[in-house]
């Protein structure tokens, strides 16, 4: 009996060491940050936060979004200043979005990302956005149509990003990694305010383009869709393209059913070029008023028109990022570094001079793989 009791002693000690919490915080004394943003960094840091203000106790606790703006000479000071108006402990780990004003993005993102990555309670998995033609505070004080808070609205948009492809969701760690890496430039999605029935609604659309840590320009929704395709992101979105069927031209709706891209650096002695091959699988979603049956010959004609149209748009896209912005957002330099390290080492110091005039050969092949449940258009009886 004594031996059995002695054998139980280590088990009891082990259980006692495993039971209980080493740290805890009462929910009643916390104000949860849903999203944050930086409005300005000079002369003072202006921090805007959307917080879930808790009311009630225990099972009756409710949360209501409240927007607070604080100002201080430093990022840490602006964060600590939140404790004064809230009179509660501010809890950051639940924050999922972080907005930066256009002014701050153009001045430089180094200070902002350094603070977010260094702060122990902020997560590098927050999604970052740049506000376009509006302020961070205006975005957080806008009225999303279906969610209680703007942060929830933005996260809902992130989850549906592959259905729209008018922006590319980017987390803090990804942005900071591209900013520090060789041979690639960073991008962030943009937030704009749109007037819907008298209410200003936040809409995520387009891309802010960076060179090092400073924003140098924008990509609109169509340019962002091409950027997404060339980045290899899976797409399921819709688009409309003017397509010739016989003697007439119709606005026909298509859907991406599959997409593959291959980008290859070609080194021939001192000559360097890039080969870009894009393969798109498309479905015909809507013919509209078109009366032409989708025979094999008609589909081949549509595929050729789509291939030429995408190739032309991609050439315009490369002209924009190379000649106007001179920013390697597709990471041509990184691809050269991986495939031909010696060629990259001899060119890395002059990449800003080489990239704007780098020859890019584009090949696009479109294939229509789906026409819905029927090939023939609807007919009206005479």
Residues 212 and 232 in one domain: no
**pLDDT average, residue stretch 171-181:** 93
Residue 4 resides in a domain: no
* 327 and 278 within one domain: yes
| Residue at which a domain ends, from 150, 184, 219 | 219
Which domain range does residue 138 map to? 26-219
Query: CB-based burial of residue 293 (10 Å sphere; 0-12 exposed, 13-18 middle, 19+ buried)?
Result: exposed
> What mean pLDDT is predicted for residues 360-376?
83
The pLDDT score that the predictor gives to residue 172 is 94
Give the bridge partners for 270, in sequence order.
none
Same domain, yes or no: 141 and 239: no
Assess if residue 2 is contained within a domain: no
Of 219, 254, 272, the position where a domain reaches its end is: 219
Flag whether 78 is in a domain: yes
Co-location of 242 and 280 in the same domain:
yes
Cα distance between residue 125 and residue 217, in whole Å: 25
Question: Per-residue pLDDT tens for 192-206?
Answer: 999 888 888 999 999
Share above pLDDT 70 across residues of the chain, in percent, rounded to a whole number: 85
Mean pLDDT, to the nearest integer, of 224-250? 89
For residue 162, name the pLDDT band (cuts at 50, 70, 90): confident
Residue ranges of the alpha helices (H) in the chain?
2-18, 75-80, 83-86, 102-107, 110-118, 136-140, 150-159, 161-164, 172-180, 221-231, 296-319, 332-339, 341-347, 351-354
pTM listed for this prediction = 0.84
> Does residue 164 register a pLDDT over 80?
no
Q: Do 212 and 231 share a domain, yes or no?
A: no
For residues 215 and 225, state if they share a domain. Answer: no
- What one-character DSSP code corresponds to residue 323? I
Question: Is residue 340, in this structure, part of any structural domain at all?
Answer: yes
Instruction: Assess whether 316 and 288 both reside in one domain.
Output: yes
Question: How many separate domains does the chain show?
Answer: 2
Confidence of residue 277 (pLDDT cuts 50, 70, 90): very high
């Amino acid at each position: 009996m004594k031996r059995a009791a002695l054998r139980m002693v280590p088990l009891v000690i082990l259980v006692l060491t495993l039971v209980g919490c080493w740290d805890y915080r009462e929910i009643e004394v916390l104000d949860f940050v849903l999203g944050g943003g930086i409005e300005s960094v000079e002369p003072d840091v202006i921090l805007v936060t959307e917080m879930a203000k808790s009311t009630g106790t225990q099972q009756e606790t409710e949360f209501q979004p409240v927007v607070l703006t604080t100002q201080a000479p430093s990022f840490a000071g602006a964060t600590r200043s939140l404790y004064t108006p809230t009179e509660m402990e501010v809890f950051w780990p639940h924050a999922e979005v972080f907005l930066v004003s256009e002014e701050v993005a153009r001045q430089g993102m180094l200070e902002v990302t350094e603070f977010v990555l260094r702060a122990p309670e902020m997560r590098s998995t927050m999604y970052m956005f740049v506000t376009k033609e509006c302020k961070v505070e205006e975005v957080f004080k806008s009225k999303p149509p279906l969610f209680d808070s703007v942060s929830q609205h933005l996260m809902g948009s992130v989850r549906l990003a592959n259905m729209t492809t008018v922006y590319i969701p980017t987390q803090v760690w990804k942005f900071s990694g591209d900013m520090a890496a060789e041979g690639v430039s960073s991008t962030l999605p943009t937030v704009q305010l749109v007037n819907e029935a008298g209410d200003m609604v936040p809409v995520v659309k387009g891309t802010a383009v960076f060179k090092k840590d400073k924003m140098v320009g924008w990509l609109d929704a169509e340019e962002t869709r091409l950027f997404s395709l060339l980045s290899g992101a899976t797409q399921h979105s819709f688009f409309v393209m003017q397509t010739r069927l016989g003697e007439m031209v119709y606005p026909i709706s298509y859907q991406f059913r599959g997409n593959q891209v291959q980008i290859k650096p070609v080194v021939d002695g001192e000559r360097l070029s890039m080969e870009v091959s894009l393969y798109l699988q498309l479905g015909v979603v809507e013919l509209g008023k078109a009366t032409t049956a989708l025979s094999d010959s008609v589909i081949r004609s549509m595929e050729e028109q789509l291939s030429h149209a995408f190739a032309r748009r991609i050439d315009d896209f490369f002209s924009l990022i190379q000649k106007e912005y001179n920013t390697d957002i597709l990471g041509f330099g990184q691809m050269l570094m991986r495939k031909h390290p010696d060629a990259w080492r001899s060119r890395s110091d002059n990449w800003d001079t080489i990239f704007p005039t780098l020859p890019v050969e584009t090949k696009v092949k479109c294939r229509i793989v789906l026409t819905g449940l029927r090939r023939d258009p609807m007919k009206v009886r005479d």
